[in-house]
Amino acid sequence: MSEPTIKSVRVLTVMGNFEWPIVKVELSNGLVGYGECHRGPGIKEVLRRAEELIRGREVNVEYLLRLVRKHIPNSEWGVVNNAISGLETALWDLKGKLTGLPVYELLGGRVRDRVAVYADLHAGAGITETGGKRWVELASTEVAYNVENYVRRAREAMGMGFRYIKFDVDVPENMMETEFDRTVGMKVVKFVTSFIGGVRDAVKYDVDIMIDGHWAFSVPTALAIARELARYDVFWFEDPVPPENIDAMMEVRLKSPVPIATGEKLYRLSQFRELIGKGATDIIHPDVQRLGGLLEMKKIAYLAEEYYVPVAIHNISSPIGTMANAHVAATIGDFIAIEWHAIDLPWWPDMVREGMIIRDGHIIPPKRPGLGVELNERVAIDHAKDQGEVKEFLQ
Ligand SMILES: [Mg+2]
């Protein structure tokens, strides 16, 4: 009996708290695999070209990925890889379903049964990019930047079983003269870090606190913030300066009194080679839905292990991408936690038929074949960005 072959590659962009481009690959025997891409321009075009390249071929992930990379321009780095990442995951899901194995087995097998998750709490109020306005803009500044609300959100996450929580320090943006400035005085530095002091006082050491800077600062401002954060024993200071200049990141890392985490904007093993090889970060924080896929994440994790650099995973995905991250994380030796950004989005769990995949601050990757979760198409369609895409997705 001949092996089933690839029939179609489809994408549906779902409007969650961020855009979630969901990839669906169907085989000639009707089997369906899912993956997810990090949002970005041109994903649909790349996947259309990829479909032309892989249609009619068997599910050999290594071969298909090399084929797509060789024939799609600019696939070495950059946003083309957002699309390739979702495609790659959908192929692993299919390979698992064809062989009867969970994806973590295909990636070498588990070193942990359950994977820790950390809750991104943003500020005293949540944040979303979709729907035109950010939630912090909708919430009053008093609500978003109020220490009681920071503490309330920290306690809420701890009550759900999370052992790691994260807040931002690059807001409120109107504290800068313009949105393009990177340097602020000590009054602002003290203000944005004061909330973290309030949280630490309230929660003591029952939870580790991470801080995100979203590449907002100059080297001197980043270091001023890091020195304040050291008073509160934060677990990491993420993306203190822009990502393109690895030497600047290295300078911050060498002078910062708190550990630095970075990597969510980088692509492929090649960009992580420079970051890790130069010793520019204490912790890597890659985005698997962007960097090139699950196998690429494994290669990066092996490299990081050579330098004793632990791995955490940046994640703003639906449960599809989040579960894919849990499968690869289960196979990584020195792993901290996967991000979860949707504590304020009540229908996040409904995106898959299995319901809530995070319990007690952890994900247990299922032993079922493939990713072990199935897209709830009804929910995805209800929140689709473009109804024209829905028709195509269902074909
Ligand atoms: Mg971040």
Q: Where are the domains of the chain?
A: 6-101+375-394, 106-363
**What's the 304 CA to ligand 1 centre distance in angstroms?**
19
Q: Which pLDDT tens digit goes with each residue over 259-281?
A: 999 999 999 999 999 999 999 99
Choose among 224, 165, 228: nearest CA to 193.
228
Which of 3-17, 176-190, 284-298 has the lowest average pLDDT?
176-190
Query: At 171, is the pLDDT very low, low, confident or very high (cuts 50, 70, 90)?
Result: low
Cα 107 to averaged position of ligand 1 atoms, centre (Å): 26
- Candidates 203, 52, 199; CA nearest to 124 is 199
Exposure string over 235-264, b if 16+ CB within 10 A, otherwise e: bbbbbbbebeebebbbbbbeebebbbbbbb
Cα–Cα distance between 241 and 219 in angstroms, integer?
6
Q: Which residues contact 132 (CB under 8 A, 6 or more apart)?
A: none
The mean pLDDT value for 313-338 works out to 98
Alpha helix segments (H runs only) across 109-218: 135-138, 141-144, 147-159, 186-203
Encoded amino acid at 256, one letter? S
With a cut of 80, say whether residue 85 has pLDDT above it. yes
C-alpha 264 to ligand 1 mean position (Å): 7
* Per-residue model confidence (pLDDT) at position 145: 81
Ligand 1 centre and the CA of 64: distance in Å? 31
How many residues are listed for the chain in this entry? Answer: 395
- Statement: residue 25 has pLDDT above 70: yes
Q: What is the pLDDT of residue 125?
A: 80
Q: Is the pLDDT of residue 131 over 70?
A: no
- Out of 3.30.390.10, 3.40.470.10, 3.40.50.300, 1.10.10.350, the CATH code matching 6-101+375-394 is 3.30.390.10
Which residues are in the CB-under-5-Å shell of ion ligand 1?
212
CA 50 to ligand 1 center in whole angstroms: 29
Please give the full DSSP string across 187-246, using - where no structure is assigned: HHHHHHHHHHHHHHHHHTTSSEEEEE-TT---HHHHHHHHHHHHTTT-SEEE--S-SS-H
C-alpha pair distances (Å), 310 with each of 108, 254, 268, 272, 332: 19, 17, 17, 13, 9
Mean pLDDT of 118-135: 74
Sheet of 32-36, strands arranged across: 6-15, 19-27, 32-36
pLDDT at 134: 55
pLDDT tens-digit series, residues 335-390:
999 999 999 999 999 999 999 999 999 999 999 999 999 999 999 999 999 988 99
* AA letter at 209: I
Residue 288 Cα to ligand 1 midpoint, Å, equals 13
Is the domain spanning 106-363 CATH 3.20.20.120? The answer is yes
pLDDT score of 124: 82
Using CA atoms, how far apart are residues 5 and 13, in angstroms rounded to an integer? 25
Task: Tell me how far the alpha carbon of residue 315 lies from the centroid of ligand 1, in angstroms.
Answer: 9
Q: How confident is the model at residue 287 (pLDDT cuts 50, 70, 90)?
A: very high
